[in-house]
Amino acid sequence: MASVDSGDSGSEKRGRKKNKWQQRKRLGFHIDMTPYVDVIMLLLTFFIMTSTLNQPQVMQINLPKGDQTEVVKVDMGNVVFIRVSEKGNIGLSKGKSDGTEDQPIKVNLQQMKQYIEGWGTANKDMIMILKFHRKAKYDLMISVLDEINRAAIEKRYSFSKMEEPDFKVLEAIGG
């Protein structure tokens, strides 16, 4: 582990006599660090193996199987459209039973939660259709989904592709 170097050069053996201050010699120490490196590696391995790492938060999304033979009929009076533009504007509109929809409302995230909760308590069969612009930021999509999950309603929503009429609706709210 450690060794002491006495520094004997053999000069006293030859019969020379030195002064008192010259007779004292400094002792040099040599410490072998190899066992310390082994202990450090064992401690590091121990802490890595026993520590609990954060579990990644994964959002469960059920995607359709792609079989379009089964079409679900939905009363448009139960539908709420949530459209998000490229600029981050959020537009909400309710569907009507005759197949049309109300004038869209431009909201922010906090207002969106309030509208959704109000409409969800009034209509227990509410279904939200989420439409995001392809160039919209991903973190905005996650924020919208978080606000939907925070709302105190039964959560039923579906993602849909944004089409030309949706772009016109977004232009009406400032796109």
pLDDT tens per residue, range 111-131: 888 889 888 888 888 889 899
**In total, how many domains does the chain have?**
1
- pTM of the predicted protein model: 0.59
Residue 91 lies in a domain: yes
We report the CATH number of the domain holding residue 100 as 3.30.420.60
Residue 159 lies in a domain: yes
Residue 121 lies in a domain: yes
Residue 5 lies in a domain: no
Residue 139: give the domain boundaries.
76-172
Place of tokens 């400032």: 174
pLDDT at residue number 4: 59
Q: CA angle 14-19-22, nearest 5°? A: 85
Q: How confident is the model at residue 42 (pLDDT cuts 50, 70, 90)?
A: very high
| Residue 111: exposure state from Cβ atoms within 10 A (0-12, 13-18, ≥19) | middle
Residue 15 lies in a domain: no
